[in-house]
Amino acid sequence: MSSLRLFEPRLFEPALSDPFESMFKRFMAPMRMELENGALDMRVDVTEVDGMYKVRADIPGVKKDDINVRIDGNVIQIDAEAKKEKDTKDSGGKVLRSERWEGSVSRTFSVSQDVDEARVSAKYEDGVLTLELPKKATAPSKRIAIQ
């Protein structure tokens, strides 16, 4: 029975953590660091309000001209490219650490109804892309008379 006690959560003993958990964290730490610095992750919120979809996408460190939005019916694709700025070095200077990401990222998702491309608006401010995507008006179903 005492071996089961190792796996109980220790809420009141934060200094004494599970040895297996700490071993796993140390083992996975190099991989986690590599993933965190390796790629840009575009996070997207999609809401539906007043006959339109509102999309907010976090794309930090990207210039407005390097963002491309495509709409095909009910499929939305957002592409962005982050370009590294040229390092200006003083005479004899060297880069000690460089963690800023460079590359491209793309995100594609669909909404339940087609989007009216003619009325779409897009704004990019403080690293957040905001899209307002009005729904395309659907024609009411028509009953066909059978002869």
Domain extent listing, the chain = 7-36, 41-85+101-134
What SS3 string covers the chain?
CCCHHHHCCCCCCCCCCCHHHHHHHHHHHHHHHHHHHHCCCCEEEEEEECCEEEEEEECCCCCHHHEEEEEECCEEEEEEEECCCCCCCCCCCCCCCCCCCCEEEEEEEECCCCECHHHCEEEEECCEEEEEEEECCCCCCCCCCCC
Residue 106's pLDDT is: 92
Q: Would you say domain 41-85+101-134 falls under CATH 2.60.40.790?
A: yes
pLDDT of the chain along its 147 residues, tens only?
A: 444 444 444 444 455 556 666 655 655 555 444 444 455 678 999 999 989 999 999 998 899 999 999 999 999 999 999 887 665 555 567 777 777 778 889 999 999 999 999 999 999 999 999 999 999 987 777 888 898
Residue 87's pLDDT is: 59
Residue 126's pLDDT is: 94
- Tell me if the pTM is above 0.75: no
Residue 6's pLDDT is: 45
